[in-house]
């Protein structure tokens, strides 16, 4: 089995938007169901993490606010899946809830590092 990282991107909500607990629960359920279905197939290698909206980019002589100030898209999070092929990882990515929200999923193979 190979491992692939599925990276989720979307535009952040406006800064003045505040979600109710019910809205958060309704938004979270499709994600939990999708990740749960991958785990049920024994293809979830790591739950990954949800990333915050705030960050910084560190360059040799400069630190800037935000990961990529020149684009509107942000990284939402990632998971690691284990499949035989990239095509199989892409099929798993097609079920990601971010796609229904106008976002996208990047599928990248993970190159093992032996240390």
The enclosing domain of 99 has a CATH number of: 3.30.70.1060
What six digits make up the tokens of 45?
A: 């290698």
Q: What pLDDT score does 68 carry?
A: 55
Per-residue pLDDT of 91-101, as tens digits, reads: 999 999 999 99
Could you tell me if residue 74 is inside a domain?
yes
Could you tell me if residue 92 is inside a domain?
yes
Cα gap 59→113, rounded to integer Å: 25
Could you tell me if residue 18 is inside a domain?
yes
What six digits make up the tokens of 88?
A: 């199989």
Per-residue pLDDT of 20-37, as tens digits, reads: 999 989 989 999 999 999
The model's pTM is 0.82
In the chain, what percentage of residues exceed pLDDT 70? Answer: 95
Could you tell me if residue 68 is inside a domain?
yes
Could you tell me if residue 38 is inside a domain?
yes
Count CA atoms closer than 13 A to 114's CA, side-chain side.
0
Q: How far is CA 46 from the centre of its chain?
A: 12
Total tally of structural domains belonging to the chain:
1
Taking the alpha carbons of 29, 33, 34, 38 in that order, is the dihedral positive or negative? positive
Cα gap 69→99, rounded to integer Å: 23
Could you tell me if residue 115 is inside a domain?
no
For residue 18, the enclosing domain spans 2-109
Per-residue pLDDT of 27-81, as tens digits, reads: 899 999 999 999 999 999 998 888 877 777 778 888 777 665 556 778 889 999 9
Would you tell me how many other CB atoms lie within 10 Å of the CB of residue 49? 10
Could you tell me if residue 62 is inside a domain?
yes
Could you tell me if residue 25 is inside a domain?
yes
């Amino acid at each position: 089995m190979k491992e692939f990282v599925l990276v989720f991107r979307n535009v952040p909500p406006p800064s003045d938007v505040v979600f109710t607990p019910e809205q958060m629960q309704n938004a979270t359920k499709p994600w939990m169901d999708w990740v749960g279905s991958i785990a049920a197939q024994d293809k979830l290698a790591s739950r990954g993490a949800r990333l915050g909206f705030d960050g910084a980019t560190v360059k040799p002589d400069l630190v800037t606010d935000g990961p990529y100030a020149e684009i509107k898209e942000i990284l939402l999070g990632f998971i690691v899946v284990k499949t035989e092929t990239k095509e199989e990882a892409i099929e798993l990515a097609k079920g990601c809830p971010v796609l229904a929200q106008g976002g996208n999923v990047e599928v990248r193979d993970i190159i093992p590092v032996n240390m």
